[in-house]
Structure 1
Amino acid sequence: MKKQRMKIRNYNILLVLLLLLMGTACSTTRNLPEGEVLYTGIKDIHINRNDQSPMGEKALAEVEAAISIAPNNSFFGSAKKRIPFPFGLWIYNSFKRYEKGLGKWIFKKLAAEPVLLSTVNPDTRVKVASNLLHDYGYFNGNVTYQVDSTKNPRAIKLTYHVNMGQPYYLDSIRYQGFSPRADSMIQATYKERIIKPGDHFDVTKLNEERQRLVDLFRNNGYYYYRTDFITFLADTLMHPGYVNLKILPKASVPREALRTYYIGNTSVYLTGYNGEQPTDSMQTRNFTVHYAGDKPGLRYGVLRKRFLYRSGEQYSQIKQNYTQEALARLGVFKFSEFRYIPRMNDSIVTDTLDVRVNATFDLPYDSELELNVTTKSTKQTGPGAIFNLSKKNFQRMGASLNLELKGSYEWQTSSTVDGESSVMNSYELGAALTLEFPRLVLPWVRNRVDPFRFPSHTNFKVYAEQVNRARYFKMLSFGGTVSYSFQPKRSMKHTVTPLHLAFNTLQHRTARFDSIANANPMLFHSLDDQFIPSVTYTLTYDDTYKKKKNRIWWENSVTSAGNVTSLIYAAFGQKFSQKDKKLLGTPFAQFLKFTSEFRHLYTFSEKHQLASRIMGGVIWSYGNKTIAPYSEQFYVGGANSIRAFTIRSIGPGRFHPASSSSYSYVDETGDIKLEANLEYRFRIFSNFLGGNLNGAAFLDAGNVWLLRKDEAHPNAEFSLNHFFDSIALGTGVGIRYDFSFLVLRLDWGIALHVPYDTGKSGYYNIPRFKDGMGLHFAIGYPF
């Protein structure tokens, strides 16, 4: 009876709270602080004398960003549009008075802090916006505002008036007051200047020019030179609408900033990852390494080559930056700190800077474990795992030795193979060993460090994979690669794989597999014993490091297999197109493969983004092998593709094996691939249990096709006549738990259309809703 009374009491409390919420739901200002007014957004922005030039658009965008503050229940961060139900404000006004209990918990979890007019502070914002107009050369421009009342006397909207005024342009530009040496450097780099006569007056460009001058001086020995030592004088009276500009050093520049400095001795102090302090040292000329233990934790030559400067050279800021980046690329230090100490001679400061570097080693090992569960449309299901172990600073060479072990196990969950009820077990095992150098390892690259400012890598890899499909076949694949990547620019990356040699062999075939191969020759030839000697070149453009609204990532890759080997055959008199050519007694593949992937990210705000991707590829096999190797063929589906479908479960074309088919277990692949994805990403909760909880809504489409007609795969070849019908389409929603260093992702995909006949008419041809669902757990964003 006592427990029952407690339950009734709790229900009554909840009922009272709900009635209270309903009774005060219409109030968004009831419990505002005394004298405060609720800000409900911008009613309008009126623009007078709008300058539609690129500079005018840039200035106006900055002004609008300064005054556009999102109100409560904003629609996608908009300052003008709001969601009609201010649920967070209702909770705030209904539960603010609760200091404990359920009411306090509801307030803490669901209430939205009101955006007040005093917080928006429009007086300050119009001053900032007016100053922005002046910074972009609109000296006569100004921004004002007015308060617009609403039906609620304690809630207001704002209307802004932006008068851009007349734009000013640069007329003459003169550099005055610099020392003869500094002036000669300015004249020698005159073509590199940021600002030129006739340009729009723009304070940001002036600051860039000032930074260019400081970098120029610091790269030529002026170690103590700073940006605040340079000033500008502008005259707008001599020529109306134009600015006569003088760039000159301040009168109070310190004496040490006006002299050049030279590099002296360099001392590197290496601290162990457990804090072991240096106890010994090793010196060669003017370079000394202090270390703990019997020998340095990093080979002396490897460390020395990271330093681009030499004793006696003029100080250079750019060489300092390159040196710090080269040390960071080694991947063996937690951090490194550079200090430049003026050398003293009889209490007099000389023009020599001794360099002290403090560096602490990172942990020597790193490991990662990834677990997953796979469920396929063929009713194969089972767990999988990938384990990575990395040894940093392998053999004290600054290289990383990585071991990857992966495996998966699948079993049949129902009798879909020839009507048998017995369980069919399959597994995949793999191992890979990679030695990665954070530099180019080439016999002709013998300079101090790679000739590229940005990261370059060399990878040597060997691998082996075992695939067992119970009652059908067992296949062994092994091989190795040598790969180089380098970046002449931060946004441009080249990857060259001059050697990739793979070997596939069917270790075991059953009579059942042979019967399937007779009915499906394409399958048999794609899995046949063969060498795959290939060369690959990849070009990647990536500007996602820039903090701008539109960011682009674009990668193109070309692979040529067997052609170099065929050229060698041709040199000995055999035709290039001749078939049955062998390498070490085994036929080798011959094909050309091209892939392209384009990604675009548009940022509305920190909490709202729109990501898109389009990708495609084609592989053409010829000569020695007219069927592409199975490992090189394209597929769609899975956590990073069309998420309504499991991996390799769509295509090719409008073909789809029936569940009762004798080879329904075969993965569905093709020679052509097209795929497109669109994903809207939004913030749900910030700082939620140590990370940000984000949501996503997505739309995925794509398929694979065959280039050649295959009797065993009807309607699988590419055709424009049925192109749109052969595109698989899926939508869905997902959540992401973003820790900044790690993103956990869960996506729920919902199929809208499959390219094959399901017995259901109409574009939405999914027989049952539950048949068109895919659930994927993954690490990282899909693109």
Structure 2
Amino acid sequence: MNRPVTYNRKKSFLVALLGVILMATQGCTGLRKLPEDEMLLKEHRLHITKEETFKDDRNVERELNRVLRPVPNSTLLKSRPRMWMYQVSGEPTGRGVRHWMRNRLGEEPVLFDDAYIDRNLRLLNNRLFNLGYFDPMVNHTLDSTRRTVAIDYHIHINKPYRIRALYPIDSDIPLARAINEQLAESMIRPGAHYSLEDLRRERRRIDKELKKQGYFFFHADHFLFRADSAAGDRQLDLYTVLRPDIPLSATKRYRVGNTTIHADYMAGMAADTGKSDTLSLPGGIYFTDALNQFNPSIITRAVFFKKDSLYNVTDHDRTLNHLMSLGTFRFVNIRFSERPGDDPLEGILDVRVLLTPIERRSTSVEVRGITKSNNFAGPGFNTTLTNHNLFRGAESFIFGLNGGYETLIGRQRTASSRELGLDATLSFPRFLLPAGWKTSPQVLAPKTNIAVGVNFMRRTDAFSLTSMKTQYGYTWNADPATQFRIYPVVFNLFVLGNLDKDMDGILVGGTLLRRGLFEQFVVGGQYTYVYNSRLKEPRQNDWFLLLHLDLSGNLAYLMMKHLIGVTPDENGGYGVFRQSFAQYARKDIDLRYYRQIGNGHRLATRFFIGAGLPYGNSDMMPYVKQYVTGGSTSIRAFHPRSLGPGTYMPPEEEAGTYNIYQTGEFKLEANVEYRFDITSVFKGALFADAGNIWRWREDEEVPGGKFSSDTFYEQIALGVGTGLRIDASFFILRFDFAFPLVNPGIESPGFFDPVRLMDRNWRRDNLVFNLAIGYPF
């Protein structure tokens, strides 16, 4: 008899809480504090009627909404909390809390003004004309209450004008011929809707192509498309014409003359090519370096201007990118000076490359707060010593010392972690390849990297682990958004140290488990491809793709077993100094999609799939190469290492402890997050995460952990939640709260697990708090 009463009380509490929220939001409308003779602009509303249905109806409405100004105050449940905060903060005299509330959280009331109507009507007509709707009818009405005004714009559009034909320039000068050649590949097609933005985009495309053909001074504004509607039937003919006032220099092609490189340029200093310390190099190149800081070849290799060749904007951009990627210059500036050539239709450009070096040596000490996906957080430090030009060839040498002390947060148990590491990296701004090997000149920012390091980590609830690494490989960019990383030599050695008493029973009791998971070394290679469209110009839709391949032990196994004929150890494996090497293949795919919805709203999605397969010399993947799930960058409704593999659940006496069995060799994960701006500083999010990990083989210690193509989809975990992010410009502090809807390790009467937000015990067992720095993806 008590349970129904308890339920009614909870229901009554929810109703009362909802009522309080509604009353509170209604009190935050901000209308009471408006001046008596002013009215608030509530909203702009578009009402579009048309002669017929067009394919781009949504585009028209979106384009028209973009021009309406001013933007009304933001609302939440019919209230205006930001405007209310602006009003109640008054007129702050200092820079305290009220100043922050008014200027960072608050929003000034947007008051109605008759001038907005005429201006918006002109903007709407202009935007419709630019979209090909040359004869729209636009008017307005007002929808007023006692303190607010909404403006309704009534728009009627007829069938848009279409392009019938595009005609080239009627001229035979070289510039006209060059433009006409580009028009043959024009994006403007007969039958397309007229769009001023499409015409501008076409002019910019042609401008870019002509700058690859020597037209240095040419600009997109030097020609235009004239529209003629005499054809009738709502069709247009476009005629390409040169502007009559086009300057003579814009009609000429230019060739590269002499190139002077100032490797020691300082702002304001005269760039004199006649200085006594100027070095004359082949190809019309002059090099000055008064302090003798650089080997000239490393600089000239990054300059792509060739004497007597036509100026090409691609060479210009590649020179800038390569010089900046050397990492040893604070500023890179390229200037051109014009002089006449032998051909009256061509000119000559002398090039000056002005390079301002950074300090050769630098030291940095960083104290930071650390948050990890395993819910460990605490202070840390990182000290680096850097030489940006070690051998006068822009080589970068970095020596680092780092450490940290972290404690477990948001869990019912206590644990801490200590870490200390040393590492050194030497990078060459070129490929170090065998003699006779050549690279494509299209490669951007080529680097050869050599890295060594040692790291010691001790977790009080698990074990201590010492790791050593050596890597040799190459990185380069195909373009600003595409990067390749190839490391043909990767060596990692792992040595297990002191064990927690619970972990000691697991590992010491099984030599194979201890050796298979930890006491082995990795010798192989890694190959990575990264594409990130967000590194290009801003756009509405962006993609991120990471492909990673990790191979280990194949060459060592081939040599020891088939070429050298080494005798295997008592376990049938091969190794060196009683340390076996790992042999496996691991492949990861990380795909992300971002969409800008508008008005501070964004959609972010991610799909991850990864698989590792041990074979040959290994029966299991090294522990550090296995997959785990859960945590602040994974499935946030589950603590790190508390989910999977499969339906496996640790014994009750081990719940909440460091469980070495909750790792897998196959991982599936999908995430979707809706992000929105609350203020310029505070951001909100709603998210859902799904996925799990599995093993390829059945393990009696991990029942239910084996992957099966028939049942894996039934073992997908699902969690949902909400988050608050504080964007402080230089870092983002993230608070995420989540709870599971589907836990594959728990049998549920329905598809979703029961959700009891008002039940304290349920919240304690299911609500997960994640604190992290940066976005999860």
TM-score, length basis structure 2? 0.81
Which of 472, 484, 489 pairs up with 1:494? 484
Select 2:455's aligned residue among 426, 451, 465.
465
Counterpart selection for 2:355 from 342, 353, 359: 359
Q: Which moved more, 1:214-223 or 1:620-629?
A: 214-223
2:104/2:679 contact within 8 Å kept: no
Deviation at 1:529, TM superposition (A): 3.1
Would the alpha carbon gap of residues 529 and 313 (structure 1) be closer, same or farther in structure 2, given more than 3 Å must change? same
Deviation for aligned residue 1:596: 1.7
Q: Indicate whether 1:28 and 2:31 are aligned.
A: yes
Would you say the 8 A contact 1:480–1:500 is kept in 2?
A: yes
Per the alignment, residue 582 of structure 1 pairs with 574
Q: 1:540 aligns with which of 509, 520, 530?
A: 530
Alignment match of 1:707 (pick from 684, 688, 696): 696
Aligned to 1:738: 728
Q: Does 1:369 align with 2:369?
A: no
Equivalent residue, structure 1, for 2:15: none
Q: 1:431 — aligned with what?
A: 422
Q: Indicate which of 550, 554, 570 corresponds to 1:563.
A: 554
How far does residue 147 in structure 1 lie from its aligned partner after superposition? 2.3
1:63-102 equivalences under 5 Å are 63-67=64-68, 70-74=71-75, 83-90=77-84
Amino acid at match of 1:165: N
Query: CA RMSD of the aligned region, Å?
Result: 4.4
The alpha-carbon deviation at position 156 of structure 1 amounts to 1.5
> Is the 1:122–1:145 contact (alpha carbons within 8 Å) kept by the matching residues of 2?
no
Task: Note the 1:287-366 alignment, pairs <5 A.
Answer: 287-293=285-291, 295-296=292-293, 298-343=294-339, 351-364=347-360, 365=362
Task: Give the alignment of 1:258-657 within 5 angstroms.
Answer: 258-271=251-264, 280-285=277-282, 286-293=284-291, 295-296=292-293, 298-343=294-339, 351-364=347-360, 365=362, 367=364, 369=366, 371-372=368-369, 384-409=380-405, 427-443=418-434, 451-452=441-442, 454-468=444-458, 474-506=464-496, 515-517=505-507, 523-544=513-534, 545-568=536-559, 572=563, 580-584=572-576, 586-605=579-598, 607-657=600-650
Residues 374 and 327 (structure 1 numbering): CA distance in 2 closer, same or farther, change over 3 Å?
closer
Could you report, residue by residue, the CA deviation over 1:432-451 in whole angstroms, capped at 9, with x for unpaired residues? 3223345544347877x852
Distance 1:277 1:474 in 2: 60
Question: Are 1:249 and 2:245 counterparts?
Answer: no
Residue correspondence of structure 1 range 212-227 to structure 2 within 5 A: 212-227=205-220
Task: Tell me what 1:112 maps to.
Answer: 107
Which of 249-258 and 757-766 deviates more? 757-766
2:668 aligned residue: 674
**Matching residue within 187, 194, 199 for 2:192:** 199
Measure the CA separation in 2 of the matches of 1:537 and 1:206. Answer: 43
Which of 129, 132, 155 pairs up with 2:127?
A: 132
Contact residue 653 and residue 755 of structure 1 kept, 8 A:
no
Conservation of the 8 A alpha-carbon contact between 1:450 and 1:456:
no
Rate the CA distance shift 1:195–1:443 in 2: closer, same or farther, 3 A.
Answer: farther
Amino acid in structure 2 at the alignment position of 1:291: D
Answer whether contact 1:673 1:704 (CA < 8 A) is retained. Answer: yes
SS at match of 2:113: helix
1:17 maps to none
Structure 1 unaligned blocks of 5 or more = 1-20, 76-82, 418-422, 687-691
Contact preservation (8 Å) 1:133, 1:139: yes
- Whole-angstrom distance in 2 between the partners of 1:103 and 1:436: 48
Contact 1:731 1:749 in 2 (8 A): yes
Q: Relative to structure 1, is the Cα distance of residues 754 and 281 closer, same or farther in structure 2, using a 3 angstrom cutoff?
A: farther
Q: How many residue pairs get matched? A: 732
Shift in alpha-carbon separation, 1:475–1:72, aligned structure 2, 3 A: closer
For residues 457-484 of structure 1, the C-alpha deviation after alignment (integer angstroms, 9 at most, x for no partner) is 4332222233446698654322322333
Question: Which one is further off, 749-758 or 705-714?
Answer: 749-758
Distance 1:501 1:161 in 2: 70
User: CA–CA distance in 1 between the matches of 2:658 and 2:89?
Assistant: 58
Could you tell me how far apart the structure 2 residues matched to 1:61 and 1:412 are? 48
Name the aligned partner's letter for residue 368 of structure 2: L
Kept after mapping to 1: 8 A contact 2:557/2:574: no
The reply on whether 1:236 has 2:229 as its aligned counterpart is yes
Q: Would you say the 8 A contact 1:336–1:360 is kept in 2? A: yes
Residue aligned with 2:31, SS: coil
Q: Decide whether the 8 Å contact of 1:683 with 1:693 is kept in 2.
A: yes
CA contact (8 A) 1:272 1:292 kept: no
TM-superposed CA distance for 1:662, in Å, is 11
Q: 1:533-557 deviations in whole A, cap 9, x for unaligned?
A: 3333333332223423322212222
Residues 1:151 and 1:399: Cα distance change in structure 2 (over 3 Å): same
- The answer on whether the counterparts of 2:25 and 2:79 sit within 8 Å (CA) in structure 1 is no
Q: Deviations over 1:312-353 (max 9, x none)?
A: 22222221122112222222222222221123799x999322
2:419 counterpart letter in structure 1: E
Residue ranges of structure 2 left out of the alignment (5+ in a row): 1-23
Cα deviation for residue 630 of structure 1 reads: 0.8
**SS across alignment from 1:192:** coil
Q: Which moved more, 1:364-373 or 1:389-398?
A: 364-373
Alpha-carbon deviations, 1:7-39, whole Å to 9, x = none? xxxxxxxxxxxxxx99997762763485x5421
* Residues 327 and 651 (structure 1), Cα distance of their counterparts in 2 relative to 1, 3 Å cut: same
Residue type of the partner of 1:299? N
AA in 1 matched with 2:487? T
1:224, distance to aligned residue in structure 2 (A): 1.7
Deviations 1:558-594 (A, max 9, x none): 333333444556764989x999452546433222222
Distance (whole Å) between structure 2 residues aligned to residue 97 and residue 430 of structure 1: 52
Structure 1 stretch displaced more, 481-490 or 166-175: 481-490
Conserved 8 A contact 1:506-1:527: no
Contact 2:553 2:582 in 1 (8 A): yes
CA distance in 2 between counterparts of 1:410 and 1:252 reads 69
Q: Using a 3 Å threshold, how does the CA distance of structure 1 residues 97 and 478 change in structure 2: closer, same or farther?
A: closer
CA contact (8 A) 1:306 1:327 kept: yes
Deviation at 1:515, TM superposition (A): 4.0
Say which is worse superposed, 487-496 or 600-609, in terms of deviation. Answer: 487-496
**Per-residue deviation at 1:183?**
4.5
Question: Which whole-Å CA distance do the structure 1 matches of 2:490 and 2:325 have between them?
Answer: 25
| Corresponding position: 1:181 with 2:170 | no
Q: What is the alpha-carbon distance in structure 2 between the residues aligned to residue 320 and residue 51 of structure 1?
A: 47
Quote the offset at 1:776 in angstroms.
Answer: 5.0
Aligned to 1:16: none
Displacement of 1:367 in angstroms is 3.5
Rounded to whole Å, the distance in 1 between the matches of 2:403 and 2:599 is 39
**Does the Cα contact within 8 Å between 1:697 and 1:734 map onto a contact in 2?**
no
Query: Identity percentage over the alignment?
Result: 24
**8 Å contact kept, 2:28–2:79:** no
1:368 to 1:116, Cα distance in 2 relative to 1, 3 A = farther
Residues in 2 aligned to 1:225 and 1:373: alpha-carbon distance in whole angstroms? 52
Shift of 1:184: 4.4
1:61 is aligned to 62
| Distance change >3 Å, CA 663–CA 771, structure 1 → 2 | closer
1:167 maps to which residue?
160
Q: In structure 1, what is the equivalent of residue 5 of structure 2?
A: none
